[in-house]
């Protein structure tokens, strides 16, 4: 191996060490408010990470959730692909003077996989690859706070109600398998704190557009399961069958 190829290999290796194999999905924030309410949403980031969430209010305070995300980002020098599915359950309740603030507490399990490939072209034009593949388990716990108090945004002569909320999720991610160029590597695990904030703009009684922004913090210093990715997405949200309140808290 000549000096140029050795330098390229070291450079690729250093990139790999500081890039995370964990891509967080958008936390499920269904804002459930009544038995029988159904929630479904889809979100997409600028990098192409797609998240899909759904939830159902089984009773006055019990909700079940299911989440999924996927990404297949191919570029000249780096590819990244991941898949994740989750399921969980938890508690929700409305409170406040108008009974239009919502507290939700959910926990659940998930499984996922990811693949990251670094590419470098040598002097003869041939591509060399450094491929990392992992599968992992996930355990998560989250607390959501949101409000159905409506503040109007006036656009193009129309009024569009806005809702706001936040979620704090803690995720324990542990590798089941981990290979580098098909050679087994030491397994890693980490705990991530993932606070997100979201704003929803209503376009009808059941349909909203949601913007989500958030961060990702790892509690432990790891080489590959690091907090290298944040959440910035735009999405479409549908809630059917929930409590619909006006500004005074009376059902419409």
* pLDDT surpassing 90 at residue 76: no
Distance of CA 203 to the CA centre of its chain: 23
Judge whether 49 and 23 are in contact, CB under 8 Å: yes
**Rounded percentage of the chain residues whose pLDDT exceeds 90:** 67
Quick count: other Cβ atoms within 10 Å of Cβ 123?
9
Tokens matching residue 39:
């929630």
Q: In the prediction, which pLDDT does 205 show? A: 85
Q: Please say whether the dihedral angle defined by the alpha carbons of residues 112, 106, 219 and 189, taken in this order, is positive or negative.
A: negative
Tokens matching residue 144:
């959501």
Q: Which CATH architecture group holds 3-240?
A: Beta Barrel (2.40)
- Summary mean pLDDT of the chain: 87
Angle (nearest 5°) at CA 58 between 243 and 169: 85
Quick count: other Cβ atoms within 10 Å of Cβ 247?
11
Query: CB under 8 Å to 48, separation ≥6 — which residues?
Result: 71, 72, 73
Q: In the prediction, which pLDDT does 251 show? A: 40
Least-confidence region, from 55-69, 101-115, 202-216: 202-216
Q: pLDDT by residue (tens digit) across 233-249?
A: 999 999 998 765 444 44
HSE-CB at 118 with a 13 A cutoff on CA atoms is 18
Q: pLDDT by residue (tens digit) across 141-155?
A: 999 999 876 677 767
More confident residue, 251 or 239: 239
Average pLDDT over residues 185-209: 94
Q: In the prediction, which pLDDT does 128 show? A: 86
Q: pLDDT by residue (tens digit) across 156-171?
A: 666 778 889 999 999 9
Domain boundaries, the chain: 3-240
Average pLDDT over residues 94-108: 91
Q: What is the pTM of this model?
A: 0.84
Q: In the prediction, which pLDDT does 13 show? A: 36
Judge whether 29 and 213 are in contact, CB under 8 Å: no
């Amino acid at each position: 191996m000549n000096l140029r190829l050795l330098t390229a290999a070291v450079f690729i290796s250093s990139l790999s060490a500081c890039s995370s194999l964990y891509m967080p999905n958008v936390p499920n924030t269904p804002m459930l408010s009544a038995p029988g309410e159904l929630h479904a949403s889809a979100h997409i980031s600028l990098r192409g990470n797609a998240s899909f969430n759904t939830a159902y209010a089984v009773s006055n305070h019990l909700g079940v959730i299911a989440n999924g995300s996927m990404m297949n980002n191919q570029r000249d020098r780096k590819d990244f692909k991941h898949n994740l599915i989750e399921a969980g359950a938890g508690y929700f309740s409305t409170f406040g003077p108008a009974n239009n603030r919502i507290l939700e507490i959910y926990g659940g399990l998930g499984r996922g996989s990811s693949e990251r490939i670094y590419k470098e072209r040598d002097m003869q034009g041939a591509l060399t690859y450094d491929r990392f593949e992992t599968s992992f388990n996930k355990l998560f716990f989250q607390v959501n706070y949101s409000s159905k108090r409506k503040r109007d945004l006036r656009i193009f002569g129309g009024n569009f109600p806005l809702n706001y909320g936040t979620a704090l999720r803690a995720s324990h991610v542990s590798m089941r398998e981990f290979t580098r160029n098909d050679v087994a590597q030491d397994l890693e695990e980490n705990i991530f704190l993932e606070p997100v904030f979201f704003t929803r703009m209503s376009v009808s009684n059941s349909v909203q557009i949601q913007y989500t922004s958030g961060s990702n913090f790892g509690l432990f210093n790891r080489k590959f399961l690091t907090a290298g990715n944040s959440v910035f997405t735009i999405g479409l949200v549908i809630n059917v069958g929930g409590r619909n309140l006006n500004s005074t808290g009376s059902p419409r």
